[in-house]
Structures are given as structure tokens and as C-alpha cells.
């Protein structure tokens, strides 16, 4: 039996720059630095322009975090 599996997965490597920033209030984190953020604003640069999305609360996995800036407010709108 021959199984041919070809998977094309888009992967963001650590320290690879991205066009997304998240600003919010840190409510808590665990031993793995997974974070719960409140009053969150996501800033993303897309080919169509800047997109801003608001969330009440999110769980941010540490694998998706490159840098933390205490007191940071995100990019200027």
C-alpha cells in the first residue's frame, strides 16, 4: 500500500515578523506564559489596508507571542 500525502502548511516561524499586533489588559497567565487578555484590540496590516478588530477577552497562546511590551498601547490609529 502506497500512501501519498502532500501537505502544504503555512507556518509562522518564531521571531519571523508578522503584520499583527495585539493590545489589551493582562488578566492572568500560567506557568507556560499563556495569557488571558481583557479589552483587546488587534491591529493587522492586510493587502487591503489596516484592519482593527476588538474583542472583550481572549486566551493568547504563548506560541503566538514574540514580544511583550508592558504599558504598550499598540500602533497609532
Residue with more model confidence, 52 or 11: 52
Contact (CB, 8 A) for 71 and 51 = no
Distance CA 62, CA 37 (A): 12
CA angle 46, 47, 51 (to 5 degrees): 30
- Can you list the domains of the chain with their CATH numbers? 3-11+20-70 (2.30.30.100)
Question: Per-residue pLDDT tens for 7-46?
Answer: 444 555 555 567 788 899 999 999 998 999 999 999 998 8
Instruction: Return the closest-CA partner of residue 23 out of 75, 76, 74, 65.
Output: 74
Q: Look at residue 68 in the predicted model and tell me its pLDDT.
A: 79
Contact (CB, 8 A) for 59 and 34 = yes
Q: Look at residue 28 in the predicted model and tell me its pLDDT.
A: 93
Amino acid at each position: 500500500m502506497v500512501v501519498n500525502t502532500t501537505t502544504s502548511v503555512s507556518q509562522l516561524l518564531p521571531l519571523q515578523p508578522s503584520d499583527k499586533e495585539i493590545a489589551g489588559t493582562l488578566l492572568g497567565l500560567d506557568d507556560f506564559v499563556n495569557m488571558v487578555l481583557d479589552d483587546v484590540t488587534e491591529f493587522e496590516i492586510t493587502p487591503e489596508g489596516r484592519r482593527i478588530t476588538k474583542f472583550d477577552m481572549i486566551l493568547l497562546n504563548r506560541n503566538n507571542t514574540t514580544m511583550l511590551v508592558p504599558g504598550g498601547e499598540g500602533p497609532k490609529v
